[in-house]
Amino acid sequence: MWKSRFHVAPPYGLLNDPNGLIYWKGEYHLFYQWNPNACEHGAKHWAHLRSKDLINWETLPVALSPTDSFDKNGCYSGSAIEKDGEIHLFYTGNVKNNGVRESYQCLATSKDGVNFEKKGPVIHDNDIPKEYTRHFRDPKVFMENETYKMVIGAQRVDLTGTVVVFSSKDLINWTFDKEVINEDFGFMCECPDFITDKKNSALLFSPQGIEADGDLYNNRYQSGYIIRELEEINKNNFIELDRGFEFYAPQTFIDEFHKNVLIGWMGMPEELDHPTIEKENWVHSLTLPRTLEITKNKILQTPHPNLKKLRKEKIQLEGIKIKNSLNLSEFGICGDTYELIIDLKNLDTDFKIDLRVGETEKTTFSYNYEKKKATLNRNHSGAGYTGTRSCSLKELEKIHIFMDKSSVEIFLNDGEEVFTANIYPNKSSLGIEIMTKMLFTIPMIKFFRI
Ligand code: FRU
């Protein structure tokens, strides 16, 4: 009853990071970290899906399995790049011998986009500079100034987190360049990425061990970015990509429209208290694809335009006067799989929307106009984790919600902020209610059943 209708989820077992995202020969390839053996972290495989539109996915054979000496305890996260017409996958071979970790950055290639041939390590465990521990993983490869670069998440020997970069001319021979973060980011930085969009660039990564600070950094681990060039090592203003609850280890790729697109893991390491495990033998899914725009001081994230393909029946309301509360079910607006867009231009009072409303359940997004604060509350959502997450927001002008069977993604003001969360309500909790403190006329509500 909680299996995602339009999010990528595993058939069984555990899914974590999206890997190897690439638009290649007119098709999207998506891989994810998969443990097919149990709903827990274990020997990771690369599950493989293919799509013409980023929406309808076809399952292909598993691309990588942990069967070799250099990856026997897991084919960990990594990325894809095209060279000479072939897909090149770079991933971390995780090895543990008597509890001692080794880390190999490995290559696998494919001519047909279905069968992958492992070529073994290109950065050997012995090549890891002595300044770092074996928490050295998640190669993301890209081209900059005619040189291939690989960013890798790393831990210094003093147990602080950073990101390092290697260079190569041929994707085979790699040399260590330097650290690209000179501050401490917790005890480990996972899944780094680097993107450029016209004039602006951003370094993305998922630091572990940053302490909560008011409304900031409240998830167990964070995922975020610094607006900067790869070389601007002293710029360390870290911004979270998502305000919670489940969002981690995102990866980007360039889509058919030449835009940077991001997909994240809708999950969190070490948090496995999800009711799907016991009831349905699967856990976690990926976020929807988000188109990124890098501005001078922020990354904006909007739902990928191809998601419009999911839209079925449409209900549109205009100029709806509301004071106190309005039950949208009266207009046929309700359900457990939908897209909902509410235009709130000129909002001058507190606003609240309850989703998946049932007799005793509701998931509440609210905006406090005085405090300029947006909050997602899942204390009454049903089964699973509870809690609230908040962020400051100068104005609330628009909310754009994607509701799936066990998740909700809420985009604010065309991607200024995003909240992503798993919720596990009852089947019968389908209501949607809106509340305002003072009289307000909502310019437009658009609802699409999915
Ligand atoms: C992030 C991560 C990566 C690692 C992978 C293993 O969630 O810990 O650093 O490569 O998961 O599944």
Q: Which atom of ligand 1 is nearest to the CA of 41?
A: 12
Contacts of residue 145, Cβ cutoff 8 Å, sequence gap at least 6: none
pLDDT the model gives residue 34:
98
Local structure of residue 117 (DSSP, 8 states): E
Output the CA 77–ligand 1 centroid distance in Å: 6
Report the pLDDT value the prediction gives residue 265, as an integer from 0 to 100.
98
User: At 306, is the secondary structure helix, strand, or coil?
Assistant: helix
pLDDT at 323 over 90: no
Listed in sequence order, the DSSP H helices in 73-232 are none
pLDDT at 378: 98
What are the residues facing 107 on neighbouring strands? 90, 120
What's residue 240's pLDDT?
Answer: 98
| Residue range 31-58: mean pLDDT, rounded | 98
Question: Can you give the pLDDT at residue 198?
Answer: 86
Nearest CA to ligand 1 atom 9: 190
Q: Which atom of ligand 1 is nearest to the CA of 78?
A: 10
From 37, 44, 77, mutation site for ligand 1 pocket: most ligand atoms within 8 A of C-beta: 77
- Where residue 39 falls among pLDDT bands split at 50, 70, 90? very high
Pocket of ligand 1 contains residue 137 by CB under 6 Å: yes
Is the CB–ligand 1 distance for residue 16 below 6 Å?
yes
Atom of ligand 1 nearest to the CA of 33: 12
Looking at residue 58, what is its pLDDT? 98
Per-residue model confidence as pLDDT tens digits over 195-214: 999 899 999 999 999 999 99
Residue 91 in contact with residue 108, Cβ under 8 Å?
yes
Residue 249 in contact with ligand 1 by CB distance below 6 A: yes
Given its phi and psi angles, is residue 191 left (phi above 0), alpha (psi -120 to 50 degrees) or beta?
left
Which amino acid, 119? K
3-state helix, strand, coil in the chain (%, to 5): 5, 55, 40
Q: Best of 35, 190, 222 to mutate for ligand 1, by most ligand atoms within 8 A of CB?
A: 190
Q: Is 17 a catalytic residue?
A: yes
- The candidate with the shortest Cα–Cα distance to 93, out of 116, 112, 113, 120, is 120
Ligand 1 proximity of 71 Cβ (cutoff 6 Å) = no
Ligand 1 pocket test target in 31, 95, 138, 272 with most atoms within 8 Å of CB: 138
Q: Are 427 and 1 in contact (CB under 8 A)?
A: yes
Cα dihedral sign, 295-297-301-302: negative
Question: How many Å lie between the centroid of ligand 1 and the Cα of residue 106?
Answer: 15
Sheet with strand 200-208: strands edge to edge: 188-197, 200-208, 224-227, 239-240
**Closest residue to atom 8 of ligand 1, CA basis:** 190
DSSP secondary structure of 43-100 = S-EEEEEEESSSSSEEEEEEEE-S-STTTTT-EEEEEEEEETTEEEEEEEEEEEETTE
Phi-psi region of 281 (alpha: psi -120 to 50; beta: other; left: phi over 0): left
Task: Report whether 74 contacts 65 (CB < 8 A).
Answer: no
Verify whether ligand 1 is closer than 6 Å to residue 17 (CB atom): yes
Residue 408: the pLDDT is: 98
Q: What pLDDT does 184 receive?
A: 83
Chain position carrying tokens 């994230």: 301
Please state, for a pLDDT cut of 70, what percent of the chain lies above it: 100
Structure tokens at 309: 């393909």
Q: Please identify, by atom number, the ligand 1 atom nearest to the C-alpha of residue 191.
A: 9
Report the separation in Å between the CA atom of 34 and the middle of ligand 1, taken as the mean of its atom positions: 11
Q: Rounded to an integer, what distance in angstroms lies between the CA atom of residue 44 and that of residue 257?
A: 32
Q: What is the pLDDT of residue 268?
A: 98
Q: For 229-283, what is each residue's pLDDT tens digit?
A: 999 988 889 999 999 999 999 999 999 999 999 999 999 999 999 999 999 999 9
- Ligand 1 atom with the smallest distance to the CA of 153 is 9
For residue 318, the model assigns a pLDDT of 97
Report the C-alpha gap between 149 and 147 in whole angstroms. Answer: 6
Ligand 1 pocket residue status of 251, Cβ below 6 Å: no
The predicted structure's pLDDT at residue 404: 98
| Residue whose structure tokens are 């409304």 | 215
User: In a mutational test of the pocket of ligand 1, which residue from 15, 16, 103 has the highest number of ligand atoms less than 8 Å from its CB?
Assistant: 16
CA of 416 to the centre of ligand 1 (A): 27
Mean pLDDT of 278-292: 98
What's the pLDDT tens digit per position in 386-430? 999 999 999 999 999 999 999 999 999 999 999 999 999 999 999
Mean pLDDT for all residues in the chain: 97
**Looking at 17, 193, 255, 354, which residue is catalytic?**
17
For ligand 1, the distance from its centroid to the CA atom of residue 219, given in whole angstroms, is 16
> What separation in angstroms does the CA of 85 have from each of 21, 115, 249?
16, 14, 28
Helix (H) or strand (E) holding 127: none
Mean pLDDT of 96-114: 97
Average pLDDT value for residue range 126-150: 97
